[in-house]
A and B are shown apart, each in its own frame.
Chain A
Amino acid sequence: MQLEQMYQEIILDHYRNPHRRGLREPYDGESFQVNPTCGDEVTLRVALDGDTVTDVSYDAMGCSISQAATSVLTDLVVGRTVGDSLSTMDSFVEMIQSRGEVEPDEDALSDAVAFAGVAKYPARVKCALLGWMAFKDAVGRVREDDSDAEQPVEAR
């Protein structure tokens, strides 16, 4: 049945037992995102050590897809570089926006391939991307702060 294809066991597991949930200190960048069509929200924080993501913490209100996607995200990015994390995000975005036409990159996505079924439901794509958008934004904010701090005044 279609429903089981969409709600893979992995998704339901993450939904029921989300990883790294809650907002933690210290952090370097924070982002708040909402899905304007349904009102779902996430506040997400990233902590970095140099270029390595050391923690992602979040507080989210949303459906199983958005909650599980955010939980899986933390597994995929914590301990990796920002660059690697964002390229994983690119693979995820490509898969999720493909309407099911693109073979997911299992190496890059690991558990996140479970969301391949979501790609067939355009209305749910935003749900799956909510946490990722917050991650990208939070990382971007860290970098903005850094460049503010590091750039000599005359270069501005």
Chain B
Amino acid sequence: MSARAVAAYDVEQAFDVEKIRGDFAILSRTVREGRPLVYLDSGATSQRPRQVLDAERAFLEQHNAAVHRGAHQLAEEATDAYESARSRIAALIGATPGELVFTKNATEGVNLLAYAMSNSATAGSECERFALGPGDEIVVTEMEHHANLVPWQELCRRTGATLRWYGVTEDGRLDLDSLQLSERTKLVAFTHQSNVMGTVPPVAELVRRAREVGALTLLDACQSVPHGPVDLGSLGVDFAVFSGHKMLGPSGIGVLYGRRELLEAMPPFLTGGSMIELVRMEGSSYAPPPQRFEAGVPMTSQAVGLGAAVDYLSAVGMDRVAAHERALTERALAGLSEVDGVRIIGPTDSEHRGGAVSFVIDGVHAHDAGQVLDSLGVAARVGHHCAWPLHRRFGIAATVRASFALYNLESEVDTLIDGVHESKRFFGVG
């Protein structure tokens, strides 16, 4: 299929960051007063290589049609492109295509699961394992992104269940001793990598404990899938979510992964066209997964684009992506640790930790530091990064966060550190 052929890309065996950067036109632009862009905000959204843009364009120019609907040639080609993207994405994360539901983003994936669980209360006995009520518990962690917290608060409010959470230690690790699961725990939802601290919690142990009490697990893989090898099958989680726009793909496309057997038993969230088996005026039956969870005409060129992003990442090699980002993270941690008055929020070593580095500077508010960095061309994020409770846990309102991707340079880390010194100088501290 030609959309696929355009996307296929040979990256040399050796990791060649300059060559990679050549695929990302935006990285060669300048910002503010002619400063080269130093993009350290891939945790929020990543940039997209030419191969992804080309794949979307080629699809739209040659194959565009509503998927899973028509019998004409374009409909066939569009459906093939869409399903081929699903297969390639599944292969990247150790899943089978039928276990992947396309959503708008990770947030929608979490909500899909939460609403399917609410709907389970009235959906018949095969859905019982998803249903919950007063006395039941949902467990999350204090380091979750709002996307993996607020939907669970809401589910608890709707059902009368109780929300509990694992705390976070002073050094930014998950505090496994802070909570004991119970027989009433229905779901344990946790991040694979904190989008603020980079912390990678002990997934295997969390899964083991959840299984012990018969609870389901949801992994928020937003910050892991783009940055290293992830095999959901061997992690043993029941559900997972991630977003295309954080992994070199388009916005408007994300994935909810669910173990086949679970998706088969789970009631739908959104209903309408494309997700049905049989419709009568009196009522309807539903298609098997993943279609059951993809009501309406889905995002098609975005799925194709995400397929191309996966091809791109696979061609580079997720191991090499991880190794490169680890080197950047170590450089940032070492550099920041040497600056007086800088406090890193989260682990200060690179063990079980990914490339999101958040910090505060004594006497310089994060917003102000961000402004100085911006004036130097450095795009870093400031604020609570949609993890307000975590910031509250550390008694701070806002941090500066640098987050890395495969296209970042060591010299960009140095520019960040220079910017931290400049922030201190500008605001007259230290």
Which A residues are closer than 8 A to B by beta carbons?
Answer: 1-3, 6-7, 12, 16, 37-41, 61-65, 121, 124, 127
Contact = CB atoms under 8 A, between A and B. Distances in A.
A6 B388 contact: no
B366 interface: yes
Interface in B367-383: 367-368, 371-372, 375, 382-383
18 contacts: A1-B33, A2-B375, A3-B372, A3-B375, A7-B368, A7-B426, A12-B427, A38-B383, A38-B397, A38-B398, A39-B383, A39-B391, A39-B397, A63-B367, A63-B398, A64-B365, A64-B367, A127-B367
B192 interface: no
Interface of B: 32-33, 365-368, 371-372, 375, 382-384, 388, 391, 397-398, 426-428
Nearest to A6: B371
Nearest to B33: A2
A59 to B, nearest CB: 13
B81 to A, nearest CB: 37
A91 to B, nearest CB: 24
A2 B377 CA distance: 12
A119 to B, nearest CB: 14
Contacts of B368: 7, 63-65
A69 B427 CA distance: 17
Contacts of A7: 368, 371, 426
A67 to B, nearest CB: 8
Contacts of A16: 428
A45 B427 CA distance: 28
Contact of A65 (B366, B367, B375, B427): B367
A16 to B, nearest CB: 8
Contacts of B33: 1-2
Given A3-B426, A63-B368, A37 B375 contact: no
A85 B178 CA distance: 51
A2 B426 CA distance: 13
Given A61-B397, A63-B366, A64-B427, A3 B371 contact: yes
A16 B32 CA distance: 27
A77 to B, nearest CB: 24
Contacts of A6: 371
Contacts of A2: 32-33, 375
A6 B367 CA distance: 13
Nearest to B391: A39
Nearest to B375: A3
Given A2-B375, A39-B397, 16 more contacts: A1-B33, A1-B375, A7-B368, A7-B371, A7-B426, A12-B427, A38-B367, A38-B382, A38-B384, A40-B398, A62-B365, A62-B367, A63-B367, A63-B398, A64-B368, A65-B367
Contacts of B382: 38
B32 A40 contact: no
Contacts of A41: 397
Contacts of B372: 3
Nearest to A65: B367
Contacts of B426: 3, 7
Given A2-B33, A39-B383, A40-B397, A121 B391 contact: no
